[in-house]
Amino acid sequence: MKATPVYGGWIRADYELQKIDQACTKINDIQIHLATYWSQIPTAAAVVAAAVASINTTTNKTSLCTIDAVDLYTMIPQLKGILALEKMLDHLQLKQVGGLHTETIIRLAKFVMENNYFKYKDEYYHQVRGGAMGSPLTLTIANCYMFFFEQSIIRQINNSHGLYFRYIDDIIIIINWPNRHLQKQVDRWNTYDENIQLSDTISNCINFLDLHIENKDGQLITNVFTKPSYQPYFLPFNSIHPLHMKANIPFTMLLRAIRYCSTFQAYLQERDHQRMALLLNQYPINFIDQQFNRVLVKFNILQPLTSTNYDTIRLQIIDSPIKIKEPINHGRTMFVHFTYCSSMKSFPQKFHQLWNKYFSESPINDITPMLGTRNADNLQQRLVHTRDS
């Protein structure tokens, strides 16, 4: 629907959104836990990989199914989305979140959902169905809506001792049903809500996010899945970024390989692919090996991975508790940002040395300084303008 731009009050609304975004983030964290994707686990696919590793009741007829909720963000009616958010707040027995009363949250959410505009070819359009892509509020409302939609499905899967996981609009089901029966159930679920259309893939070989799962004679085999369009390009080693950012890339890549790859041979193959991709991005071989070894050190593993100990060590890593980040006390934290360049490599260390030297006995020492970096302007940032000037 075309609409003339409405500028009055928009800046004020954007200011109010800072509060609603914080509130919705907290609601989202709670309800995500209830909807069975854990915020303390690095990725939803890692949860599935861990769950698959614990399954011992599969047969060669076990059905594997992935389901996509088609166009979820834009298909949920705005009013029903707000009602789902209100129902979730009541379900969680929350009277206020982040200092905002639930009545205020609902009013602000309603205002945001009903006042999304965008510009295309010098024409302004008003979004009358669904929410804006990329908005934290749209994500929260979609999760709330799906949470109540899926409850009867979850009970049905649990009663049949199956496995059900959802990450936003992507669903995976592993269950000992014939494929034809599972297809009939998906068709029936598609009649539950006219706003939710489920598109399914049922096979003995499926991909869920970046996890590949295959049923081989009753044994579930998992490894890393990459799309055909995947390009092995990420942060180059010679880029002007802090070293810890580059160190985290090979570290998390190998950790993902161990969590996902159910066989030692698949792990070796994925590790070789990772090493080649890192070398193509100018990462030194010694640096790569150092970060790969850091994965084992982090989990107190004192021996290299072999075909003999791989299964045991992999389960040890999967079962290791994930350290949850402590919430930041913004009242006692001072954020210091600086533009990172090669000449500023030692700045963080010198900053903390000077801070401890001059403020260790001062009342200001109760304040915790946190350093953050800004990237220097690159050619793309200088040439590309994403907003109207």
pTM equals 0.79
More confident site: 339 or 148: 148
Mean model confidence pLDDT for the chain: 83
Distance between CA atoms of 302 and 313, rounded to whole angstroms? 10
More confident site: 55 or 103: 103
- Residues 233/75, Cβ–Cβ less than 8 Å: no
Interval 317-346 mean pLDDT: 80
93: phi then psi, degrees, rounded to nearest 5: 55, 45
Residue 351: pLDDT band by 50, 70, 90 thresholds? confident
pLDDT in tens, 14-44: 444 444 455 455 444 434 333 333 333 346 6
Residue 184: pLDDT band by 50, 70, 90 thresholds? very high
Q: What pLDDT was estimated at residue 15? A: 41
The percent of residues above 90 in pLDDT, for the chain, comes to: 46
pLDDT in tens, 56-78: 778 888 999 999 999 999 999 99
Domain-by-domain residue ranges, the chain?
Answer: 10-222, 243-319, 330-383
More confident site: 10 or 290: 290
pLDDT in tens, 377-389: 766 666 766 665 4
Name beta bridge partners: 126. 117
Sheet holding 219-224, edge to edge: 205-208, 211-216, 219-224
pLDDT in tens, 243-280: 888 999 999 999 999 999 999 999 999 999 999 999 99
